[in-house]
């Protein structure tokens, strides 16, 4: 996790003091990308209050924190509901109250640590969260399952495991996992006079890959067949690329299944990388030998069509490096 700069902290925060630490009840500022302090008055921030970022808070709190460079007069209005787009939570937060992000429909990204294990009911009701970034310092337990259970849309998780070993500097192992969209619908079975529940999408199965608040990577990787059967080629390509690029806890049989899928669907993989302008992802494919001539040509065509100039330049360089044209020889 990169270091929070004081000038980046939300300019004005309402809070309460509790026996466990500081509880944030509301934030004021000019924009919806909120970075919350780890401490206030030297006391760790440990809780986000119920309805803290909803349109109508339960309680604004009796104390006010003003960050460095901020002021009471210039902090702007309360940032809540549809105004919230990204939140970087305090590193020692252990609990989020119920409906804390109620109807924050533009909240796309959430950054937190494994200190947070408890999330109140309905915390993400009305949200369409797209990306979660979690930093692990104490093991592999987190609140990830609670988050993905509340979001039926596709959600991407970037997981950073901070490791310490004797005689070695701290290092980070990374995982990148996708939980596809899923939903249920009730369908009437008229002859039997009953309602049947039908499930759509592979996301529901992936959301069951947890045990004791830890992501079960083996179980996750065994579900590739569900993605292939029920999701689009683009979704499958994204999921496969994420696991191969960051193979945390990836067993050999799982790796072989992902590689087999990637080799059979190179065009979908490069199309996804071109559309998302993922330069590092394309370099990964090139470095691992997955970019065949036909895959490169397809990527070049798609990059030109999509007017992705930087990606186009990278692909032209890779084609020249990987598949250089042979110089013509002339006999005299």
Average of pLDDT values for 306-326?
A: 90
> Residue 71 falls within a domain, yes or no?
yes
> Residue 247 falls within a domain, yes or no?
no
Neighbours of 26 (CB within 10 A): 22
Selection from 129, 123, 97 nearest residue 111 by Cα: 129
Average of pLDDT values for 10-17?
A: 94
Selection from 45, 10, 16, 6 nearest residue 28 by Cα: 10
For the chain, the average pLDDT equals 91
Q: Is the pTM of this model over 0.75?
A: yes
Q: Residues of 198-219 as b/e, b for ≥16 C-beta within 10 angstroms?
A: eeebbbbbbbebbeeeebebee
Please write the tens of the pLDDT for every residue from 271-280: 999 999 999 9
Number of structural domains in the chain: 2
> Residue 173 falls within a domain, yes or no?
no
Go through the chain and tell me how many residues it has.
332
Helix (H, G, I), strand (E, B) or coil at 308: coil
> Residue 295 falls within a domain, yes or no?
yes
pLDDT for the residue 30 = 82
> Residue 282 falls within a domain, yes or no?
yes
Average of pLDDT values for 319-328?
A: 78
Please write the tens of the pLDDT for every residue from 81-118: 999 999 999 999 999 999 999 999 999 999 999 999 98
Average of pLDDT values for 174-179?
A: 98
pLDDT for the residue 68 = 75
CATH number at residue 93: 3.80.10.10
pLDDT for the residue 76 = 74
Check pLDDT > 80 for residue 263.
yes
More confident residue, 182 or 110: 110
pLDDT for the residue 187 = 57
Average of pLDDT values for 259-271?
A: 96
Selection from 115, 191, 205, 204 nearest residue 151 by Cα: 204
Domain final residue, candidates 109, 129, 149: 129
> Residue 200 falls within a domain, yes or no?
no
Where does the pLDDT of residue 240 fall: very low under 50, low under 70, confident under 90, or very high at 90 and above? very high
Check pLDDT > 60 for residue 72.
no
Range of the domain at 82: 1-129
Contact 109, 86 (CB under 8 A): yes
pLDDT for the residue 192 = 60
Please write the tens of the pLDDT for every residue from 197-224: 666 799 999 999 999 999 999 999 999 9
pLDDT for the residue 313 = 95
22, with CB counted inside 10 A (0-12, 13-18, 19+), is buried
Contact 245, 284 (CB under 8 A): yes
> Residue 245 falls within a domain, yes or no?
no
For helices 309-322 and 279-287, angle between their N-to-C axes, nearest 10 degrees: 10
Please provide the DSSP assignment of 50-118 as one string.
TTTTSSS-S---SEEEE-TT--TTTS-SB--GGG--EEE--TT--EE-TTTTTT-TT--EEEEETT--E
Contact 6, 69 (CB under 8 A): yes
Mean pLDDT lowest among 41-45, 67-71, 92-96, 222-226: 67-71
Contact 12, 67 (CB under 8 A): yes
Please write the tens of the pLDDT for every residue from 125-167: 999 999 999 999 999 999 999 999 999 999 999 999 999 888 8
Where does the pLDDT of residue 8 fall: very low under 50, low under 70, confident under 90, or very high at 90 and above? confident
Tokens representing 138 are: 């104490």
pLDDT for the residue 224 = 98
CA distance 251 to 81: 42
Domain final residue, candidates 85, 103, 129: 129
> Residue 112 falls within a domain, yes or no?
yes
Domain final residue, candidates 129, 149, 176: 129
Q: What are phi and psi of 26, to 5 degrees?
A: 180, 155
Selection from 81, 67, 126, 116 nearest residue 95 by Cα: 116
């Amino acid at each position: 996790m990169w270091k929070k700069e004081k000038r980046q902290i939300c300019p004005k925060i309402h809070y309460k003091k509790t026996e466990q630490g500081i509880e944030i009840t509301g934030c004021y500022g000019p924009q919806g990308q909120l970075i919350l302090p780890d401490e206030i008055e030297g006391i760790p921030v440990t809780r986000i209050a119920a309805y803290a970022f909803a349109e109508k808070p339960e309680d604004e709190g009796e104390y006010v924190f003003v960050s460095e460079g901020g002021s009471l007069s210039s902090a702007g209005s309360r940032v809540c509901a549809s105004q919230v787009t990204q939140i970087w939570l305090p590193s020692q937060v252990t609990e989020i109250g119920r409906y804390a992000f109620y109807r924050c429909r533009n909240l796309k990204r959430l950054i937190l640590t494994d200190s947070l294990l408890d999330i109140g009911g309905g915390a993400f009701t009305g949200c369409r969260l797209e990306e979660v970034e979690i930093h692990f310092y104490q093991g592999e337990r987190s609140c990830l399952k609670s988050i993905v259970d509340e979001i039926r849309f596709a959600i991407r998780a970037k997981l950073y495991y901070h490791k310490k070993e004797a005689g070695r500097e701290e290092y980070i192992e990374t995982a990148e996992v996708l939980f596809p969209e899923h939903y249920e619908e009730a369908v009437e079975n008229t002859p039997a006079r009953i309602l049947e529940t039908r499930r759509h999408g592979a996301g529901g199965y992936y959301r069951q890959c947890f045990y004791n608040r830890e992501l079960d990577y083996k179980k996750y990787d065994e579900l590739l067949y569900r993605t292939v059967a029920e999701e689009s080629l683009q979704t499958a390509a994204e999921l496969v690329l994420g696991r191969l690029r960051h193979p945390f806890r990836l067993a050999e049989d799982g790796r072989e299944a992902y590689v087999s899928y990637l080799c059979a669907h190179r065009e979908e993989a490069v199309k996804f990388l071109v559309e998302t302008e993922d330069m590092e992802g394309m370099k990964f494919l090139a470095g691992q030998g997955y970019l065949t001539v036909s895959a490169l040509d397809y990527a070049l065509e798609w990059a030109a069509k999509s007017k992705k100039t930087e990606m186009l330049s990278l692909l032209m360089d890779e084609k020249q490096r990987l598949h250089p044209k042979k110089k013509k020889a002339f006999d005299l």
